[in-house]
Amino acid sequence: MSTIAVNAITDASSGNTTTINGVTPNTSNVIGKNKIMNGAMTIDQRNLGVAVTTTSGYTLDRWRVYEQSAGAMSFQQVADAPDDFKYSLKATTTTADASVDASDYNVVLQRIEGTSVSDLNYGTSAAKTTTLSFHVKSSLTGTFGGSFRNNGGDRSYPFTYTISSANTWEKKTITIAGDTTGTWLNTTGMGLQVNFGLGVGTTYTGTSGAWVGAGNFSADSSVNVISTLNATWQVTGVQLEVGDTATEFEHRPYGIELGLCQRYYQQPIDSGLDFFAGYFVNGNYGPGVFDTWVVEMRTTPTVVLTLGSLNAVGSVSVNYFDKKRFHLNPTANATSNGFYYVAKLTADAEL
């Protein structure tokens, strides 16, 4: 940690001088220190707080579920959180898997873009120590697990944390020495994956506390939340930062957090009202609509378009788009005069 050199401070009114050798700045609120996005679980563009069940998809923004199991879980943004937070991500077991097979996995994870973690220097002798901190709550107690994992799935660091009291918010801190070997992307691909295991078989678990040449999702002998019907697990305040100390959580303004998430997923048209996208009059088609994404996306997205209820003459397509812009285009299947409308447009550039 650096210091600011100050020789002396003189009181203008009294003339008294105080000598100071150095002042250490407060780095607990450094902007951009948290590598995790939506760590406070405030952004939920896809589901708006509605519970979802998925085996491979996103719940709250940037938080993905990855499941292979005989059981099932639902995931939801809920207004239940510790002090200084408003929301958490809640997982609930809806179908129990009493016996998790060796090849099963039930994981809540975030994939961090390589450009956001390139300064960690993973895969080199200059790899930095990082600290993961989070608030967690569960109806179960015991030793839970998770891991860090690289893009190739051949390097991982399993970790554990203990929940001592059921249905009580507890803060956990895990410090991890940077990996000096392996291949770690520093491009727009996945640079680092942070996993929370909710029921992982032995094929994807390992001994906690060390880097290994395997793609583990969690640590050995961890609590399997999915094995207990109606069991719950909640998390919020997730922060990953450089150093061996967990500092105060970085509460970014809502607009900034939303913009960060929109690099990976956005809904530029989703107002609840039909959006004008072109017309067909006397054999002539309107030029459609040229527009830019809300923010530039990580890469050219996958686009899904839903026609509006006011559409009466034909259809609309997104005939051109890249990571910066898109074009809504009337298609040539109309037989009468009218207008084209779009109800919703989504763009997905997740990792």
Q: Are residues 97 and 158 in the same domain?
A: yes
- pLDDT above 70 covers what percent of the chain? 89
Predicted pLDDT of residue 3:
42
The answer to whether residue 333 scores a pLDDT higher than 80 is no
The answer to whether residue 69 scores a pLDDT higher than 80 is yes
Q: Can you give the pTM of this predicted structure?
A: 0.91
Residue 39 is assigned to a structural domain of this protein: no
The answer to whether residue 191 scores a pLDDT higher than 80 is yes
Burial class (CB in 10 A: 0-12, 13-18, 19+), 230: exposed
Where a domain ends, among 233, 262, 291? 262
Q: Are residues 235 and 320 in the same domain?
A: no
Residue 328 is assigned to a structural domain of this protein: yes
The DSSP H or E segment spanning 115 is helix 114-117
Mean per-residue pLDDT over the chain, rounded: 91
pLDDT-derived band at 261 (thresholds 50, 70, 90) equals very high
Predicted pLDDT of residue 14:
58
Q: Are residues 73 and 203 in the same domain?
A: yes
Give the residue ranges of DSSP H helices in 83-230: 114-117
Return d(Cα 168, Cα 155) in angstroms, integer.
33
Pick from 307, 310, 314, 316: nearest CA to 335 = 314
Predicted pLDDT of residue 68:
97
The answer to whether residue 210 scores a pLDDT higher than 60 is yes
Q: Give residue for tokens 């788009």.
A: 321
In a 3-state reduction of DSSP, which class is residue 227? helix
Q: Give residue for tokens 């003189």.
A: 10
Return d(Cα 10, Cα 285) in angstroms, integer.
75
* Residues 84-140 pLDDT 10s: 999 999 999 999 999 999 999 999 999 999 999 999 999 999 999 999 999 999 999
Residue 147 is assigned to a structural domain of this protein: yes
Residue 6 is assigned to a structural domain of this protein: no
Phi, psi of 256 (to 5 degrees): -70, -45
Residue 182 is assigned to a structural domain of this protein: yes
What number is the average pLDDT over the span 194-215? 98
Pick from 108, 114, 20: nearest CA to 58 = 108
Structure tokens at 52: 């979802």
Per the CB < 8 A criterion, the answer to whether 222 and 144 are in contact is yes
Structure tokens at 261: 């998430």
In a 3-state reduction of DSSP, which class is residue 256? helix
DSSP 226: G
* Residues 12-48 pLDDT 10s: 555 554 444 544 444 555 779 999 999 999 999 999 9
Predicted pLDDT of residue 312:
60
Q: Are residues 167 and 235 in the same domain?
A: yes
Per the CB < 8 A criterion, the answer to whether 342 and 277 are in contact is yes
Q: Are residues 174 and 219 in the same domain?
A: yes
Q: Are residues 194 and 286 in the same domain?
A: no
- DSSP letters along 278-345, please? EEEETTEE---EEEE-SS--SSSPEEEEEE-TT--S--EEEEEE-SSEEEEEE-S---S-EEEEEEEE
Where a domain ends, among 204, 239, 262? 262
Q: Are residues 119 and 170 in the same domain?
A: yes
What number is the average pLDDT over the span 156-170? 98
Please state the domain count of the chain: 2
Domain that holds residue 311: 265-348
What number is the average pLDDT over the span 302-310? 89
The answer to whether residue 52 scores a pLDDT higher than 80 is yes
Residue 4 is assigned to a structural domain of this protein: no
Where a domain ends, among 235, 262, 289? 262
The answer to whether residue 275 scores a pLDDT higher than 70 is yes
Q: Are residues 148 and 218 in the same domain?
A: yes
Return d(Cα 285, Cα 339) in angstroms, integer.
10
The DSSP H or E segment spanning 262 is helix 254-262
